[in-house]
């Protein structure tokens, strides 16, 4: 009983002390809304330059001009075959993790008119993607991690796979 009481008191002290660590400097708490886009439902956003690339679930990839954050404007869309859940933008290409549609590679060099240039169907349910250089790391749920070569965005191909993972939904 004495041990329980000591741990309980330590827990209470930690609960009282820890919240103060993150909020002790109020200069980081001055957030304010500067703009709003009243359309779409997004599960992921990747900002590069003046554009926000958004995974728009059933409607695929939305491209938003955020050069003036007070008035963001949707300027482009590419409707993917599945459910766009996550994305990564590298150079002129958006790599979209599309549940039911695999990895979609979309040319966004003309943001008003994005075009699919390639895709890769994985064995699992695509959950996330991260691109570093010419390699795409794709989280495939129960089928683990696929490592794809995307040096030619029109023809991604498998370089390796790690399927010794129970579930992978983030890269």
Rounded CA-CA distance 65/52 in Å is: 6
The helix or strand, by DSSP H or E, that contains position 8, with its residue range, turns out to be helix 2-23
Segments of the chain with pLDDT less than 70: 1-28, 164-171
For 56-105, the pLDDT digits (tens) are 999 999 999 999 999 999 999 999 999 999 999 999 999 999 999 999 99
Domain map (residue ranges) of the chain: 39-162
SS3 category, 45: strand
The residue count of the chain comes to 171
- Interacting residues of 71 by C-beta distance below 8 A, sequence separation 6+: 35
The helix or strand, by DSSP H or E, that contains position 12, with its residue range, turns out to be helix 2-23
**Per-residue pLDDT at 24:** 52
**Per-residue pLDDT at 171:** 56
**Per-residue pLDDT at 4:** 46
**Per-residue pLDDT at 27:** 60
**Per-residue pLDDT at 167:** 62
- Interacting residues of 67 by C-beta distance below 8 A, sequence separation 6+: 50
CATH level 3 topology of 39-162:
Methylamine Dehydrogenase; Chain H (2.130.10)
Q: Phi and psi for 34 in degrees, rounded to 5? A: -110, -20
| Contact present, 76 and 53 (Cβ < 8 Å) | no
């Amino acid at each position: 009983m004495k041990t329980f009481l000591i741990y309980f008191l330590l827990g209470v002290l930690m609960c009282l002390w820890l919240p103060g660590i993150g909020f002790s400097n109020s200069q980081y708490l001055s957030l304010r809304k500067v703009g709003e886009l009243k359309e779409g439902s997004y599960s992921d956003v990747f900002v590069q330059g003046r554009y926000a690339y958004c995974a728009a679930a059933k409607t695929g990839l939305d491209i938003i001009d955020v050069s003036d954050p007070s008035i963001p404007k949707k300027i482009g869309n590419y409707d993917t075959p599945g459910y766009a859940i996550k994305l990564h933008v590298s150079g002129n290409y958006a790599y979209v993790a599309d549940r039911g549609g695999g990895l979609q590679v979309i040319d966004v060099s003309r943001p008003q008119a994005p075009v699919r240039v390639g895709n890769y169907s994985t064995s699992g349910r695509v959950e996330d993607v991260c691109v570093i250089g010419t390699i795409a790391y794709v989280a495939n749920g129960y089928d683990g991690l696929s490592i794809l070569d995307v040096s030619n965005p029109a023809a991604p191909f498998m370089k390796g796979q790690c399927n010794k993972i129970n579930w992978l939904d983030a890269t």
